[in-house]
């Protein structure tokens, strides 16, 4: 039997299980308290609280199911769009920041047969991604000789200036707590060669980056050859319920050349 790679689910299973546990605990407490109390107001408040946790648990279950269905088709579509916006000839080394279980790094290696790819990540919770799974996935996909994975932070990449011909990142920067996420973009561009290509997929929203036109304007002023911004990947169907940034969003890509 062919072993399949495991690229995980953007909705961490820990969050899903946590929300189900909170709902079950709240339901149990509500039943017990309602049994011993005759106060209708207390019963009503308990019903509201339990109802709220029920909706949250259902929402996370739906998100987890939708993202994972058809072998993670939605994630694959987003990764495909990200790589399509990377205007690179496939020569030299590429870096994937916050690689997760390595889907983008491995996809790049498969698309460009003479490229060397490095995937970095801190492999933090709540996700269950790991370096071991990345290496297994690369092995299964037949690119283990050209992809390496390394533990390091997007805040301080352990590479020299201008080391890579291409730099990519998929849904990572928003997940890192830093007072200004532009610093993460700056750090990613630091390791990119002159004329190198970049493509970053993330929730480019006010919540994470402040005013977006100002962000683009500032990045453009960093002496880059080309800066493009795609505000919505319309070719990918994301159900209305999951369009919220922090869940799946519409997929925004910042891409160009140094």
Ligand X SMILES: C[S@@+](CC[C@H](N)C(=O)[O-])C[C@H]1O[C@@H](n2cnc3c(N)ncnc32)[C@H](O)[C@@H]1O
Residues of the shown chain interacting with ligand X in the complex, contacts defined by CB under 6 A: 10, 75, 98-100, 103-104, 121-124, 127, 129, 153-155, 170-172, 175-176
Phi, psi (5° rounding) for residue 95? -120, 135
- Rounded to a whole number of angstroms, the minimum distance from the CB of residue 217 to ligand X is 26
Q: Which is nearer to ligand X, 115 or 120 (CB)?
A: 120
User: What's the token pair of residue 93?
Assistant: 């080394």
Rounded to a whole number of angstroms, the minimum distance from the CB of residue 138 to ligand X is 14
Residue closer to ligand X by CB (options 30, 137) is: 137
Across 12-27, b (16+ Cβ under 10 Å) vs e yields beebbeebbeebeebb
Q: How far is the CB of 155 from ligand X (least distance, A)?
A: 5
**Helices (H), ranges, the chain:** 13-36, 40-84, 103-111, 131-140, 182-190, 206-209, 212-220
- 87 closest CA partner among 229, 227, 255: 255
- Residues 90 and 64: their CA atoms lie apart, in Å, by 33
Instruction: Tell how far CA 245 is from the center of its chain.
Output: 11
Write down the least CB distance from residue 159 to ligand X, Å. Answer: 13
**Closest CB to ligand X among residues 94, 104:** 104
Tell the smallest beta-carbon distance from residue 133 to ligand X (Å): 11
Pick 27 or 175: Cβ nearer ligand X = 175
SS3 115: coil
Q: Which residue, 103 or 249, is less far from ligand X as judged by CB? A: 103
At closest approach, how far in Å is the CB of 239 from ligand X?
18
The residue number with the shortest CB distance to ligand X is 100
Q: Nearer to ligand X by C-beta: 81 or 121?
A: 121
Sequence-distant (6+) residues with CB within 8 A of 55 are none
Report, in Å, the least distance between residue 11 CB and ligand X: 9
Choose among 142, 112, 123: nearest CA to 12: 123
Nearest CA to 94 out of 231, 213, 237, 192 is that of 192
Question: Smaller CB distance to ligand X: residue 30 or 133?
Answer: 133
């Amino acid at each position: 039997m062919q072993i399949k790679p495991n690229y995980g689910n953007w909705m961490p299973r820990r969050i899903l299980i946590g929300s189900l546990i909170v709902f079950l605990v709240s339901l149990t407490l509500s039943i017990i308290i309602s049994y011993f109390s005759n106060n209708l107001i207390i019963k009503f408040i308990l019903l509201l609280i339990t109802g709220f946790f029920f909706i949250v648990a259902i929402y996370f279950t739906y998100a987890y199911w939708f993202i994972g269905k058809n072998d993670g088709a939605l994630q694959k579509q987003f990764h495909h769009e990200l790589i399509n916006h990377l205007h690179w000839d496939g020569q030299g080394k590429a870096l994937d920041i916050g690689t997760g279980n390595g889907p983008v790094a491995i996809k790049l290696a498969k698309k460009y047969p003479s490229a060397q790819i490095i995937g970095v990540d801190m492999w933090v919770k709540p996700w269950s991604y790991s370096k071991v799974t990345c290496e297994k996935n690369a092995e299964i996909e037949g690119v283990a000789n050209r992809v390496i994975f390394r533990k390091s932070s997007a805040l301080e990449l352990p590479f020299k200036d201008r080391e890579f011909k291409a730099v990519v990142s998929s849904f990572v920067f928003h997940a890192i707590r830093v007072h200004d996420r532009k610093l993460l973009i700056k750090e990613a561009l630091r390791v990119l060669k002159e004329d190198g290509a970049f493509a970053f997929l993330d929730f480019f929203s006010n919540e994470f980056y402040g005013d977006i036109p100002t962000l683009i304007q500032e990045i453009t002023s960093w002496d880059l050859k080309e800066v493009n911004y795609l505000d919505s990947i319309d070719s990918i169907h994301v159900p209305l319920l999951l369009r919220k940034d922090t869940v799946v969003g519409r997929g925004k890509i910042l891409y160009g050349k140094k």
